[in-house]
């Protein structure tokens, strides 16, 4: 064990066990999660080893992933593991698994959109893994614009079937995870056509493979090829040539087609896309987990790593974590982790409340949940990716190596700003929701409960901060008040500009919005910051009595996140005169004080997540701090180095030998240009 890490761990100001219990959800949940982690012990189950992952081919990595999945499914059935514990177990393997697509996209689609009769037939098969499914929505030519999807499902009266067809190259389903090799079925989104009339996009259950896993006739299916990351998952394409499915494989909880071809309309058209909202909630909830992995590696390494010294009289190099700027980079990441832990739980609770309401026929929260989850997913994933990339750079050359474990996490999470809705599109959708709410408030009409304060927008816009100290500026109520003012001010300015522009714009008010896309996105982002700070402060106060020893450090972290947000957008606050230059100076000084207070606790804040060395798969983020020996030993395992030890010098006989001895010039007539 590194003496540096031992010394750091002994100096943590709070009981790390208490923080672990907060992260895991309480003492009993902590006990259960530790038992779940024990199932992944590589000494008992070598299939879960990740150490050689950087050296195996893509096809072998895929098979290895399936081997892990088979063992996990065995555990799931053996111990009757429920949803939240199943998510934790999958995440704790250290890599993405195909079950994410099956259990958290395919099955929720069936549950949310199938009739009771359909569920009785198909859900047991899916939950038993007798069939394996994926979510097939995105096409080669269309992603976020669902309304323009081209795949068709034409009702055939004579046979009581739907004809599934890809009429163009761009209608090819493209990107669905686990479709290329793993899935037997797909929850497919296609245009419903009855007697030549287009009823828009609807979900269908389509079988992809038959005996011996062979693709069924009329189905052209394959892999989309190597990706930036996520390469153990078989993202693929599928193209249909007049594939018939029974009528009862249209998912008919909402929309229905009767035997005579009569179509009935759902009570709320967007209810059919609830799976995407669930996916966004999952992403928001899991951002903290992935960023915590990266920060765990970086902070441990930054304690081991020595560089430079502060005086000529001090021959010892300094621990790099003692440099203020590195603290600023890494500790801001810590503030994101713990602030987002609260917003993740808040978003999950809101989603579950809405889900229950929809099941009871109440759609009153649907628009709110869609808009809020869209904005939060966009902001959370953007901030996490920025922090991950900055953390990689903060680790220097060793961070760039796959042996650090950081690139693999970055590569996996790089998809998050794109999947379940492109962030730009989602911001714009949130913006439209905010514009409508403000217009309603301005004209005395009802507003969503989450935006009821807009009715008092005139008072909000007139307010200016009266705080004079750090304590007053970072008071939870002042934080919420400041960000409420900020997003309301941006929103009011946007509405004013839209009204002015619409008077001369050829397409009027709606057309004017295209000239203010940047402003709409900025408004959505500001609103999302407000939601995050509100939920984080409310969440922190709710656990104050349960976790009194970690409350102070969590308060510092939320204050740091908030203060960095103010500094980031200080120009807007200054232009609006909500804050003055003295306030900004206080925030800047306060941030530096936060870094000093967090420094002794940094190791505890990452150790509390209890990531195993196997899950991190990092030479520089090991719990024992044995960084440099591990880097050297892992490098020796590279197949090219092993070949050299066998006396095989790759590239020498093939190419370099001829360069060294000049053979490559034989027969070439030299001439001047």
Does a structural domain hold residue 35? yes
- Based on the domain organization, do 51 and 197 belong to the same domain? no
Does a structural domain hold residue 109? yes
- Would you state the structure tokens that stand for residue 143, as one six-digit string? 């992603």
Does a structural domain hold residue 54? yes
The average pLDDT across 457-484 equals 96
- Based on the domain organization, do 258 and 292 belong to the same domain? no
DSSP state of 669: P
Does a structural domain hold residue 547? yes
CA 127-104-118 angle, to 5 degrees, is: 50
Per-residue pLDDT tens over the stretch 283-313: 888 899 999 999 999 999 999 999 887 666 7
- Where do we find the tokens 């287009």? 198
Per-residue pLDDT tens over the stretch 174-184: 999 999 999 99
- The sign of the dihedral angle between the CA atoms of 10, 11, 14, 16 is negative
- Based on the domain organization, do 290 and 196 belong to the same domain? no
- Alpha-carbon span 14 to 566, nearest angstrom: 28
CA 302-88-562 angle, to 5 degrees, is: 50
pLDDT at residue 275 is higher than 70: no
pLDDT for res 509: 86
The average pLDDT across 216-234 equals 94
- pTM for the model: 0.93
* Residues comprising the chain, all counted: 673
Give, for 161, the enclosing helix (H) or strand (E). Answer: strand 161-165
Give, for 257, the enclosing helix (H) or strand (E). Answer: strand 256-257
pLDDT at residue 588 is higher than 80: yes
pLDDT at residue 523 is higher than 70: yes
Q: 222: closest CA among 125, 164, 140, 103?
A: 140
- Alpha-carbon span 574 to 583, nearest angstrom: 10
- Based on the domain organization, do 254 and 351 belong to the same domain? no
Query: Is residue 287 part of an annotated ligand binding site?
Result: no
466 class by beta-carbon count within 10 Å (0-12 exposed, 13-18 middle, 19+ buried): exposed
Percentage helix, strand, coil, to 5, in the chain?
Answer: 60, 10, 30
Backbone angle region of 501, left / alpha / beta, with phi > 0 → left and psi within -120 to 50 → alpha: alpha
pLDDT at residue 272 is higher than 70: no
First-to-last CA distance in the chain? 64
pLDDT at residue 258 is higher than 60: yes
- Would you state the structure tokens that stand for residue 394, as one six-digit string? 């903060």
DSSP state of 549: T
pLDDT for res 267: 60
- Based on the domain organization, do 264 and 307 belong to the same domain? no
Per-residue pLDDT tens over the stretch 29-56: 999 999 999 999 999 999 999 988 999 9
Whether residue 155 contacts residue 198, with contact meaning beta carbons closer than 8 Å, is answered with no
Whether residue 133 contacts residue 184, with contact meaning beta carbons closer than 8 Å, is answered with yes
- How far is the CA of 328 from the CAs of 60, 308, 332, 587, in angstroms? 40, 18, 6, 14
CATH code, domain carrying 13 = 1.20.140.10
Beta bridge partners of 207: 185
Per-residue pLDDT tens over the stretch 184-201: 999 999 999 999 999 999
- Based on the domain organization, do 188 and 59 belong to the same domain? no
- How far is the CA of 530 from the CAs of 146, 375, 459, 534, in angstroms? 29, 11, 17, 6
Which range is least confidently modeled, 245-259, 325-339, 436-450, 579-593? 436-450
pLDDT for res 311: 65
pLDDT for res 351: 87
Residue 178 — φ and ψ, nearest 5°? 70, 15
Which domain does 62 fall in, by range? Answer: 3-94+274-414
Active site residue 648: no
Does a structural domain hold residue 128? yes
- Based on the domain organization, do 181 and 248 belong to the same domain? yes
Among 381, 414, 447, the domain-final residue is: 414
Q: 98: closest CA among 301, 236, 238?
A: 236
Does a structural domain hold residue 617? no
- Alpha-carbon span 48 to 75, nearest angstrom: 13
- Would you state the structure tokens that stand for residue 358, as one six-digit string? 């929809």
- Alpha-carbon span 596 to 321, nearest angstrom: 11
pLDDT for res 274: 63
Count of domains observed in the chain: 4
- How far is the CA of 349 from the CAs of 345, 355, 380, in angstroms? 6, 10, 17
- Based on the domain organization, do 524 and 487 belong to the same domain? yes
Looking at 46-143, which runs of residues are DSSP E strands?
Answer: 133-136
Mean pLDDT of the chain: 93
Pairing of strands 263-264, 185-194: unpaired
Does a structural domain hold residue 606? no
Give, for 6, the enclosing helix (H) or strand (E). Answer: helix 3-10
- Based on the domain organization, do 446 and 541 belong to the same domain? yes
Number of alpha carbons in the 13 Å side-chain half-sphere of residue 114: 23
Give CA torsion, residues 455, 458, 461, 462, to 10 deg.
Answer: -140
pLDDT at residue 273 is higher than 70: no
Residue 314 — φ and ψ, nearest 5°? -110, 105
pLDDT at residue 146 is higher than 60: yes
pLDDT for res 585: 97
- Would you state the structure tokens that stand for residue 525, as one six-digit string? 């982002």
Does a structural domain hold residue 81? yes
Whether residue 441 contacts residue 495, with contact meaning beta carbons closer than 8 Å, is answered with no
pLDDT for res 268: 58
Query: In this structure, which long-range contacts are made by residues 356-360, counting pairs with CB atoms below 8 Å and at least 24 apart in sequence?
Result: 358/268, 358/271, 358/274
Query: Is residue 177 part of an annotated ligand binding site?
Result: yes
The Cα diameter of the chain in Å comes to: 93
- Would you state the structure tokens that stand for residue 553, as one six-digit string? 């450090």
The average pLDDT across 528-532 equals 97
Among 414, 446, 476, the domain-final residue is: 414
Beta-carbon contacts of 572 under 8 Å, excluding residues fewer than 6 positions away, are 486, 490
The average pLDDT across 489-500 equals 95
Q: 518: closest CA among 500, 504, 498?
A: 498
- Alpha-carbon span 125 to 278, nearest angstrom: 22
Per-residue pLDDT tens over the stretch 604-662: 999 999 999 999 999 999 999 999 999 999 999 999 999 999 999 999 899 998 999 98
The average pLDDT across 132-161 equals 93
pLDDT for res 420: 78
- Based on the domain organization, do 446 and 583 belong to the same domain? yes
**Model confidence at 341, in pLDDT bands (50, 70, 90)?**
very high
- Based on the domain organization, do 410 and 287 belong to the same domain? yes
**Model confidence at 315, in pLDDT bands (50, 70, 90)?**
confident
Neighbouring C-beta atoms of residue 236, cutoff 10 Å: 24
Task: Name the catalytic one among 8, 420, 478, 572.
Answer: 420
**Model confidence at 337, in pLDDT bands (50, 70, 90)?**
very high
Among 579, 599, 619, the domain-final residue is: 599
Q: How many percent of the chain have pLDDT more than 70?
A: 98
**Model confidence at 357, in pLDDT bands (50, 70, 90)?**
confident
pLDDT for res 269: 55
Query: In this structure, which long-range contacts are made by residues 74-80, counting pairs with CB atoms below 8 Å and at least 24 apart in sequence?
Result: 75/39
- Based on the domain organization, do 469 and 525 belong to the same domain? yes
Per-residue pLDDT tens over the stretch 367-420: 899 999 999 999 999 999 999 999 999 999 999 999 999 999 999 999 999 887
Output the DSSP codes for 186-215: EEEEEEEEETTEEEEEEEEEEE-B-GGGPB
- Where do we find the tokens 């029974």? 246
């Amino acid at each position: 064990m590194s003496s540096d890490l031992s010394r750091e761990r002994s100096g943590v100001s709070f009981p790390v066990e208490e923080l672990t219990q907060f992260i895991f959800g309480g003492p009993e949940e902590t006990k259960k999660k530790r038992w779940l982690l024990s199932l992944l012990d590589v000494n008992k189950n070598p299939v879960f080893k990740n150490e050689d992952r950087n050296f195996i081919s893509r096809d072998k990595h895929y098979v290895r992933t399936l081997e892990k999945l088979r063992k996990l499914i065995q555990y799931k059935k053996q111990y009757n593991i429920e949803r939240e514990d199943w998510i934790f177990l999958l995440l704790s393997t250290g890599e993405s698994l195909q079950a994410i697509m099956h259990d958290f996209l395919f099955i929720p689609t069936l549950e949310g959109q199938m009739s009771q009769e359909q569920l009785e037939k198909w859900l047991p098969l899916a939950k038993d893994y007798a069939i394996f499914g994926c979510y097939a929505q995105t096409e080669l030519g269309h992603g976020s614009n669902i309304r323009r999807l081209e795949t068709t499902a034409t009702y055939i009266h004579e046979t009581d079937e739907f004809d599934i067809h890809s009429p163009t190259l761009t209608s090819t389903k493209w990107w669905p995870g686990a479709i290329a090799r793993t899935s037997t079925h797909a929850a497919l989104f296609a245009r419903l056509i009855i007697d030549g009339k287009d009823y828009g996009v609807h979900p269908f259950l389509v079988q992809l493979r038959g005996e011996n896993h062979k693709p069924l006739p009329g189905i052209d299916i394959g892999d989309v090829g190597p990706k930036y990351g996520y390469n153990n998952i078989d993202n693929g394409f599928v193209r249909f040539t007049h594939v018939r499915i029974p009528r009862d494989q249209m998912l008919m909880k909402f929309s229905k087609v009767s035997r005579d071809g009569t179509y009935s309309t759902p009570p709320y058209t967007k209810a059919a896309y609830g799976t995407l909202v669930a996916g966004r909630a999952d992403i928001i909830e899991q951002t903290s987990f992935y960023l915590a992995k990266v920060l765990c590696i970086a902070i441990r390494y930054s304690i081991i790593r020595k560089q430079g010294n502060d005086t000529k009289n001090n021959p010892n190099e300094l621990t790099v974590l003692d440099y203020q700027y590195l603290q600023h980079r890494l500790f801001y990441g810590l503030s994101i982790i713990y602030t987002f832990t609260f917003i993740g739980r808040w978003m999950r609770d809101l989603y579950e409340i809405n889900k229950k309401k929809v099941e009871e026929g109440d759609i009153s929260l649907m628009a709110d949940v869609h808009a809020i989850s869209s904005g939060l997913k966009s902001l959370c994933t953007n901030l996490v990716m920025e922090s991950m990339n900055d953390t990689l750079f903060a680790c220097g050359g060793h961070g760039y190596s796959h042996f650090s474990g950081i690139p693999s996490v970055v590569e996996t999470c790089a998809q998050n700003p794109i999947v379940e809705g492109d962030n730009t599109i989602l911001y714009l959708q949130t913006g439209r929701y905010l514009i409508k709410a403000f217009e309603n408030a301005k004209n005395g009409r009802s507003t969503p409960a989450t935006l009821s304060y807009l009715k008092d927008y005139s008072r909000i816009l007139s307010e200016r901060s009266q705080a004079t100290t750090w304590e007053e500026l970072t008071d939870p109520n002042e934080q919420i008040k400041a960000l409420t003012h900020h997003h309301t001010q941006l929103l009011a300015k946007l509405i004013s500009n839209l009204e002015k522009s619409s008077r001369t714009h050829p397409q009027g008010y709606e057309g004017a919005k295209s000239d203010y896309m940047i402003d709409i996105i900025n408004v959505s982002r500001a609103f999302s910051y407000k939601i995050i700070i509100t939920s984080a402060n409310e969440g922190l106060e709710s656990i104050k009595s349960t976790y009194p020893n970690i409350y102070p450090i969590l308060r510092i972290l939320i204050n740091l996140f908030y203060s960095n947000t103010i500094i980031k957008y200080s120009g807007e606050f200054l232009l609006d005169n909500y804050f003055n230059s003295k306030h900004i100076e206080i925030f800047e000084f306060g941030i530096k004080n936060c870094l000093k207070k967090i420094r002794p606790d940094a190791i505890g804040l990452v150790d509390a997540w209890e990531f195993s060395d196997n899950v991190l798969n990092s030479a520089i983020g090991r719990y024992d701090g044995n960084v440099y020996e591990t880097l050297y030993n892992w490098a020796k395992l590279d197949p090219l180095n092993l070949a050299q030890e066998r006396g095989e010098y790759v590239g020498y006989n093939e190419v370099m030998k001829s360069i060294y001895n000049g053979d490559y010039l034989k027969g070439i007539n030299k001439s001047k240009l």
